Structure 1
Amino acid sequence: MSDYGGSQAHIMTIQYCFPEDNSSCRKEVRTGTGNIFLFTLLSFISVCTVFLNLLVIISISHFKQLHTPTNLLILSLAVADLLVGLILMPVNIMGLIDTCWYLGNMACAAVLLINFFSLAASLCSMMLIAVDRYIAVNDPLSYSTKLTVCKTTIFITFEWTFCLLYAFIFLYFNDNLHPSQNMNRCHGECVMYIKYQWMIVDLIVMFVTPCSIILILYSFIFNVAKQQAIAVRSVLNTTSNTQRTKVSISSETKAAKTLGIVVCVYLFCWIPSYVSNLLVENISSLSLVWNVFGWIAYINSSMNPLIYAIFYPWFRASVKYILTCRMLQSSSSRFNLFV
């Protein structure tokens, strides 16, 4: 067993998960200074992921000024990222510390379902954000009538329903859901296995297709924004309407650039995972490669709120109100965050 902690001495005790059961898995508990440091670091990342995404969720949910179609999509993304930090990261950390699974097949299947569901919902939210930004930049004057809060809520509902259905079908056909078909080798193991053909399906359905749509839309967004900026500068008659259009285009372009960074970070975190998985015929979550690149992918859920904090003044303002408890005031939901 490799030492995750580096060159320091590795101490491992081997027992059985369920000593009274002849089919029990061997229990491997990783200790040592290096491992303790690693687990502490990963736990810190998990706590930060939960805390930062909660700030995004509370901000958009509480302050009425933030109840816009774009922010609802950001809220959807933050909820998906919250599931990663709240459930997937802690479960993965526990699996690194103690290889035994004590919660049974149903809990194992639920965790695997949440894993695929939340990660799929994260990418689909980004795709909807790209569609939203394309409409906003392509036709900023009629954007508010084309995409309303009500319509956005419906789109998000369809998105999460599709992701849940996809995750269920994917895991079912990989024999990860039904206890009688589960490929666990012994009692006390919760392992995800993915057949190679389904890895190709997942690559196409949940990576190549949505990412291609996102990249194509963002290429259109920046091209249209550039053309509109040139058109505005060429207008000699600077009326108030023209000025408002110019401000609107500038605002939408800045938002598109910010969310474009979110997409680039996503691709940077997820491409290594998909590339490495394609090199193996049948993928198992027990592998070291799975864990290393899996954590790189998980960290993407921590990066999104940090990007908002850097580029969105409204997020910094809302966080200040939340951390200073001013949001507890009766009229706090109507605070102006764009001062």
Structure 2
Amino acid sequence: MESFNMTDLNWNFCPAKNNILCALLYISISFLTAVTVCGNLLVIISIIYFKQLHTPTNYLILSLAVADLLIGALIFPFNMAFSVKTCMYQSTLKCLIQKAFDFIVSSSSILNLCCISIDRYYAVCHPLIYKTKLTDHVSTMMGLGSWAVSVLFGICIFLMDYYYDLCRIGCFFMSGIVSILAFYVPAIILLCVYSKILLVALKQVSSLQNATSQSGPVGSKKERKATKTMAIVMGLFLICWLPIFISYPFYTLSNIVIDLIEPFNWFALSNSMLNPFIYAFFYHWFRSAFRMMISRKIFRGDYVNTKLH
């Protein structure tokens, strides 16, 4: 097994024969990295600093933002240095580390999305018991559990790849099982939970539209906005991740699929840039927090207990 050496970095993310294309790709990915890091950093600082944002839902959003921040700050540059396509055919230590770390952070992001979907399910479908079921302690344990499971999956992937020559067929099937548990199962959970939320929200909209009270139209507008938000969340997640989910198991069968793995991987990781907009930018209190940070107002006084509007 080859030892890791920073001098051995192989920049095969972009073919050197097309310098203009390479430059455009690196500029685009650098922009993607900056937006991902800054967006998730704003979310993290907001939740930690402002007491108003210390809620069970926001603790889960904080855990998701940390995962997405790591994707932007570490995985994006790492994948620029080590091509995913190239590492499919190499068992060097640097490739194994890249794959394991990529797996840990990416699966953590997806598992955190699942935790948020469960939180939203109780908030929308069972509002009367929501505060007793989803407490600060429960949401914290869910976030930490997502990271613990992801680290376990990453260790399994690393060990199976490291000792592949010893277990071959067994490692192949085990790797497939881990991938299913880390990606396909959470995707199915997300689809089922958000589908249930949408059905409940639509029923509530129908009930409010048929109501004769004055509060009906206001409630209907809020439910339509919640329904639209949930549709955007589920739609963007599936759009970003399904191509890599579907193609990765078949990369050994077709050269066309192999060539698509690299762009599909970047397309999936770009979901980490979108998450702050989906889960935070839609809420007015986060927007108020962002304005205070961007204007550096929080550095000129104590605004921890500020009421965000």
- TM-score, normalized by length of structure 2? 0.80
In structure 2, the CA distance between the partners of 1:180 and 1:148, relative to structure 1 (3 Å rule), is same
Quote the RMSD (CA, aligned, Å).
3.6
Unpaired stretches in structure 2, ≥5 consecutive residues: none
Kindly indicate which of the two structures has a greater share of residues assigned to helix: 2
Which amino acid is 1:197 matched to? F
Q: Following TM superposition, by how much is the alpha carbon of 1:34 offset from its aligned partner in structure 2, in angstroms?
A: 2.3
In the alignment, does 2:196 pair up with 1:220?
yes
In the alignment, does 2:215 pair up with 1:262?
no
Query: Which residue among 151, 159, 171 is the counterpart of 1:172?
Result: 159
In the other structure, the counterpart of 1:3 is: none
Q: Following TM superposition, by how much is the alpha carbon of 1:252 offset from its aligned partner in structure 2, in angstroms?
A: 7.0
C-alpha distance in structure 2 between counterparts of 1:218 and 1:327, whole Å = 36
C-alpha distance in structure 1 between counterparts of 2:209 and 2:76, whole Å = 49
In the other structure, the counterpart of 2:274 is: 303
Identity of aligned residues (%): 34
Q: Secondary structure at the match of 1:87?
A: helix
Q: Following TM superposition, by how much is the alpha carbon of 1:329 offset from its aligned partner in structure 2, in angstroms?
A: 4.0
Q: Following TM superposition, by how much is the alpha carbon of 1:273 offset from its aligned partner in structure 2, in angstroms?
A: 1.1
In structure 2, the CA distance between the partners of 1:25 and 1:298, relative to structure 1 (3 Å rule), is closer
Contact 2:208-2:220 within 8 A present in 1 as well: no
In the alignment, does 2:47 pair up with 1:75?
no
C-alpha distance in structure 1 between counterparts of 2:218 and 2:225, whole Å = 11
In the alignment, does 2:124 pair up with 1:153?
no
Q: Secondary structure at the match of 2:128?
A: coil
Show the 5 A alignment for 1:181-330.
197-198=173-174, 200-232=176-208, 234=210, 254-255=225-226, 257-281=228-252, 288-308=259-279, 311-330=282-301
Q: Secondary structure at the match of 1:30?
A: coil
Contact 2:244-2:268 within 8 A present in 1 as well: yes
Q: Following TM superposition, by how much is the alpha carbon of 1:308 offset from its aligned partner in structure 2, in angstroms?
A: 4.3
Q: Following TM superposition, by how much is the alpha carbon of 1:279 offset from its aligned partner in structure 2, in angstroms?
A: 2.1
Question: Higher Cα Rg: structure 1 or 2?
Answer: 1
In structure 2, the CA distance between the partners of 1:293 and 1:230, relative to structure 1 (3 Å rule), is closer
1:179-234 Cα offsets, whole Å, 9 max, x none, are 998x9xxxxxxxxxxx7535642453123221111111112112222323444555
C-alpha distance in structure 2 between counterparts of 1:122 and 1:43, whole Å = 21
In structure 2, the CA distance between the partners of 1:25 and 1:310, relative to structure 1 (3 Å rule), is closer
In structure 2, the CA distance between the partners of 1:151 and 1:330, relative to structure 1 (3 Å rule), is farther
Kindly indicate which of the two structures has a greater share of residues assigned to strand: 1
C-alpha distance in structure 1 between counterparts of 2:201 and 2:240, whole Å = 28
- TM-score, normalized by length of structure 1? 0.73
